[in-house]
Structure 1
Amino acid sequence: MRRLNRLLVGTAILGLICMNIPAHARDISMSDKRFLKNAAEAGNFEIEGSKLALAKSKDADILRFARMMTDDHAQAALKLKDLATRRGVELPTEPSLVQQAKLKYLEMREGVKFDKSYATHIGVSAHEQAVKLFEDAAEDATDADIKKFAADTLPVLKKHLEEAKRIDIRVNQDD
């Protein structure tokens, strides 16, 4: 009888613990979780790089692009955070270590060299990677809300990439 009581108490405690875990947190796939984290790091990288551009650049196109980046990526970050929270996934609040190293490099650049590096690394390269990341999630995510978020965000990322390519060609035309 004592054994049965312990079993019932243990089962009740386990049930209470499980009730505190959001349903989606229990069944989110590792690839969906990885997407959420990689998307957060990518957004953090582009926001931080664009803040540098707003502080360092004098180029009107770079400044306009950087403002668009900080605004659009901040909005996407809020949606991503909400989605991750509902899934019980804690997102990174900074870029990855590799991205942080790229930001340090960018921070050391000045003038036209900064503009060229920003256009190439934050504008084109980071957006090519982000578009690939979001295309893969829009196609392969197992969670319907994550798949929709990726698909809905893609047009904005593609618009950023096209604008970044235009700026990159202009600022790097002397090379």
Structure 2
Amino acid sequence: MSSLHRSAAATNWLARGRRWPWWALLAATVGAVLLVPALRAGDNAATSAPEHHHHDVVPAAVTATGIVATDLPDGWTMTSFGMIGPADREFLVKVRQAGLWEGPAGQLARDHAADKRVKEVGAQLATDHHGLDTQVRQVAAQLGVPLPNEASAEQQGWVRELDGKRGDEFDRTFANRLRAAHGKVFALVGTVRSGTRNELVRSFAQTAVNVVMKHMTLLESIGKVDFEDLPTPAAAATGSNTTPGEASYRETLWVVVALVLAGGGTAAFRALRALRARRTF
């Protein structure tokens, strides 16, 4: 091959070499369009997956007594029915305290209420809480959870308040005090029922959910509950209004726009350089 042909071939190779970044640019654009949504989906899956707290998976060894011994986070203990934590204990304590004041309040309705329906509801609440109290003491004994022997100071104050009222005033106070109290404890009972790690607590929480729901319905049937005075329900946090699909699309679009602008700038630069070269010759 002559030197002239070799020079022409080298020139053609260099020319092709200058054009190859356009193919790389095209490949990068296509890759970004395909890869970015996939990466974004992976991030969403990672962030949306439930956290595995260090107490979720616990290495255990069964002792001779049948109780599982292991290293647990503070506030957690292991029983033959499974792990028990602070919320489980609080649930048992709250159910016990509820019976210690709502039972007596229901009994007061027999003598203090003016409305026959209030008397009926009070009698039903007293009966149900007597049975629930028996169960919660049995469950707590099996799990080694200490229970109080009296209602809280606030609850005792409610009983004294009811004892000092008669007739319609008693009926209205009875309906609103007990309806508000049931609504408050229902949040804790529902949380424990949905997330407890303890088999015995889970079973008893199911019973408590049913009883609390029944009592709220009975109290509302009196027709004297002021619903406007109840706590306003809080909506669950939803975060950004942008859906994962929209976020992936927008990120991909910005990547493509950036690549197109970069390619356009490169093309303009090369065109300007070629124009100057031709003017030189």
Do both share a fold (TM > 0.5)? yes
Higher relative contact order (CA 8 A, sep 6+): 1
- Paired residue for 1:136? 191
Q: Structure 1: where are the runs of 5+ without partners?
A: 1-14
SS in 1 for 2:222: helix
Which of 40, 53, 76 is the aligned partner of 2:96?
40
Tell whether 2:200 aligns with 1:166: no
Give the conservation status (yes or no) of the 8 Å contact 1:106–1:114: yes
Deviation at 1:140, TM superposition (A): 2.3
Q: Write the deviation string for residues 30-70 of structure 1: whole angstroms up to 9, x where unpaired.
A: 22111111111122221121122123123210111111101
RMSD between superposed Cα atoms in Å: 2.3
Deviation at 1:120, TM superposition (A): 0.9
Deviation at 1:141, TM superposition (A): 2.1
Which of 129, 133, 136 is the aligned partner of 1:73?
129
Which of 188, 202, 207 is the aligned partner of 1:152?
207
Which of 161, 171, 174 is the aligned partner of 1:115?
171
Give the conservation status (yes or no) of the 8 Å contact 2:84–2:196: no
Give the conservation status (yes or no) of the 8 Å contact 1:84–1:90: yes
SS in 1 for 2:221: helix
TM-score, length-scaled by structure 2: 0.49
Q: Write the deviation string for residues 82-122 of structure 1: whole angstroms up to 9, x where unpaired.
A: 00011112211221111111222222112110111001112
Give the conservation status (yes or no) of the 8 Å contact 1:62–1:115: yes
- Measure, in 2, the Cα distance between the counterparts of 1:118 and 1:65: 10
- Paired residue for 1:127? 182
Give the conservation status (yes or no) of the 8 Å contact 1:45–1:99: yes
Task: Spell out structure 1 runs of 4+ moving beyond 2 A.
Answer: none
Q: Which protein has the bigger helix share? A: 1
Give the conservation status (yes or no) of the 8 Å contact 2:115–2:167: no
Q: Structure 2: where are the runs of 5+ without partners?
A: 1-62, 68-77, 227-281
Return the letter of the residue paired with 2:139: L
Deviation at 1:130, TM superposition (A): 2.6
- Measure, in 2, the Cα distance between the counterparts of 1:77 and 1:101: 20
SS in 2 for 1:167: coil
- Paired residue for 2:157? 101
- Measure, in 2, the Cα distance between the counterparts of 1:96 and 1:33: 16
- Paired residue for 1:61? 117
Which one has a bigger Cα radius of gyration? Answer: 2
- Paired residue for 2:235? none
Give the conservation status (yes or no) of the 8 Å contact 1:40–1:91: yes
Give the conservation status (yes or no) of the 8 Å contact 2:112–2:165: no
Which of 65, 69, 86 is the aligned partner of 1:30?
86
